[in-house]
Amino acid sequence: MSEQMLVDLMSLFPPELTPAQLAKAKTVFFKELSLRCHEFYGGKMMTVPKAGLYGFNWFNVWYTPGVSKVSTTIREDSKASFTLSNRGNTVAVISDSTRVLGDGDVTPPGGLGVMEGKAMLMKFLGGLDAVALCVDSRDEHGRNDPERIIQFVKMVQHSFAAVNLEDISQPNCYRVLDGLREQCDIPVWHDDAQGTGSVALAGLINALKLVNKQLENVHIVFFGAGAANTTTARLIIAAGANPERIIMFDSKGALSRKRTDLETDPAFYRKWELCRQTNPHNIAHIEEAMQGADVLIAISRPGPDIVKEQWIAAMGDKPIVFVLANPVPEIYPYAAKQAGAYIVATGRGDFPNQANNSLGFPGILKGAVLANARHITDNMALTAAHSLAKYAEDRGIEPDRILPLMTDHGMYSMEAAEVAMQAVKDGVARRIKTKEEYRLQARIDILEARRLVHQLMDTGFIERPPRAIIEECLRLAVVAVS
């Protein structure tokens, strides 16, 4: 197969496609290719030993009778489990699959593809081992009960160094995260919320530098008020944004003190906090809110045509537009630029400015694990955002390059080190080292993970996907837009 075909999938599309056709064709292509390749490989993760078998009696070392000494040692000191087993470098990726990407409730096993994808990125980008665990949170009446997830995580936490919560619908996601942060002795991280928020903040920091505006002065509109955007707003306010210059919209309208439906529903306490903080003038309509706005951050539902061009056209000077719905942004970047956007970010890597939580969680969780942290604090998420922003700025930022790329391993090791140091400052670290020691260990683990994957590819243990699969998926994509 042509190496070019494998490496540069974007070069395969016919040059005569319009921007609208190309955007749609890429979405179809990636979905079809993902399905075919998952079938070809049988998923994308496997478990392999990290210790060698040098002869028959090594079974006696790794299993019985030798391993008995490991069990009794951990019994006497449970902290030894972090160094005598792979617990110290292993993350549980846990979901009830009730809000997977833009597809909603896909049933518990339906989330496995995404959770395995998370595990793959943790290994390759963060040097972490991860296990996908999709659980059934339904009670006897068929309702998704957050307490079932909380109890499950509490029971399995002793096998992991950290927990990554994923794709849990709101309002359950708030209850699960806040409950587990209080009740677990290991870090519990909700990547859809905290991860997206920290990366969006990083992108916003650099975007504002390019347009010469200050965070505390800008008028920000948030479109969508799920776990991702409410947490993004909370982190951006913590970073210095003025909440009185923020307006947020959910499916029922603007958040404000007039939203008595949220005030009286304890499940939505996080949204009610924002109702009390933001939109002091009780602006009710998105068209009014967008007049002269500096920033739009949309994390709502897959597009296109969810965010309207006329909204962007009504914004102020050099508007910044983040449209982060997956798998399709609320408006395609070419359309946002035509409407007047100066900087556009999406969650996808096939467009400029990928503001995806994949830039955050591998380094953040690696830092928490390296420090053997008990919790991940909001300060650690803010530190990750500033680390990402500075890493990109040091290498040069411009309107189509406000964030680092996922391929830069140096970003993750630096991010991990700075997050670990913040854990020390916040008093939640149990393994205290210098920043350089944290960084070097992260770098070693990340490079070893990448070397392992490349060796498996180079030796043919990981086969190349058949050329016919790629060509058929490309044909289907082109037909879909013809």
Cα(52)–Cα(198) distance, rounded to whole angstroms?
Answer: 39
pLDDT tens-digit readout, 426-443: 999 999 999 999 999 999
Q: Give mean pLDDT, residues 103-117.
A: 95
Residue 8's pLDDT is what? 78
Over the chain, what is the mean pLDDT? 95
Structure tokens at 200: 């969006």
In 10 A of CB 51, how many CB atoms? 9
Residue 5's pLDDT is what? 54
Rounded to the nearest 5°, which phi and psi values hold at 256?
-165, 180
The catalytic residue among 41, 63, 79, 425 is 63
Please say if the pLDDT value at position 30 is more than 80: yes
Please say if the pLDDT value at position 177 is more than 70: yes
Please say if the pLDDT value at position 286 is more than 90: yes
Residue 7's pLDDT is what? 62
Cα(455)–Cα(458) distance, rounded to whole angstroms?
Answer: 5
Per-residue pLDDT band at 227 (split at 50, 70, 90): confident
Per-residue pLDDT band at 1 (split at 50, 70, 90): very low
Cα(76)–Cα(87) distance, rounded to whole angstroms?
Answer: 17
Please say if the pLDDT value at position 4 is more than 80: no
Please say if the pLDDT value at position 213 is more than 60: yes
Q: In the chain, pLDDT over 70 holds for what percent of residues? A: 99
**Residue 334 is a catalytic residue:** no
CA distances from 27 to 133, 284, 303, 356, 367 (A): 27, 34, 11, 16, 33
Q: Give mean pLDDT, residues 207-222.
A: 98
Query: What structural domains does the chain harbor?
Result: 78-186 (3.40.50.10380), 193-433 (3.40.50.720)
The catalytic residue among 118, 123, 271, 337 is 118
CA distances from 330 to 115, 207, 223, 255, 440 (A): 24, 19, 10, 20, 40
Please say if the pLDDT value at position 361 is more than 80: yes
Per-residue pLDDT band at 274 (split at 50, 70, 90): very high
Cβ partners under 8 Å of residue 130, min gap 6: 90, 91, 92, 93, 118, 119, 122, 123, 164
Residue 268's pLDDT is what? 82
CA nearest to 94, candidates 36, 44, 149: 149
Residue 473's pLDDT is what? 96
Residue 239's pLDDT is what? 97
Please say if the pLDDT value at position 288 is more than 80: yes
Please say if the pLDDT value at position 2 is more than 70: no
**Residue 63 is a catalytic residue:** yes
Structure tokens at 206: 């650099």
Residue 3's pLDDT is what? 55
Angle between helical axes of 227-238 and 378-394 (0-180°, round to 10): 80
Q: Give mean pLDDT, residues 308-317.
A: 98
Cα(300)–Cα(322) distance, rounded to whole angstroms?
Answer: 11
pLDDT tens-digit readout, 387-425: 999 999 999 999 999 999 998 889 999 999 999 999 999
pLDDT tens-digit readout, 232-259: 999 999 999 999 999 999 999 999 999 9
Q: What is the pTM of this model?
A: 0.93
Q: Contact at 8 Å (CB) between 245 and 217?
A: yes
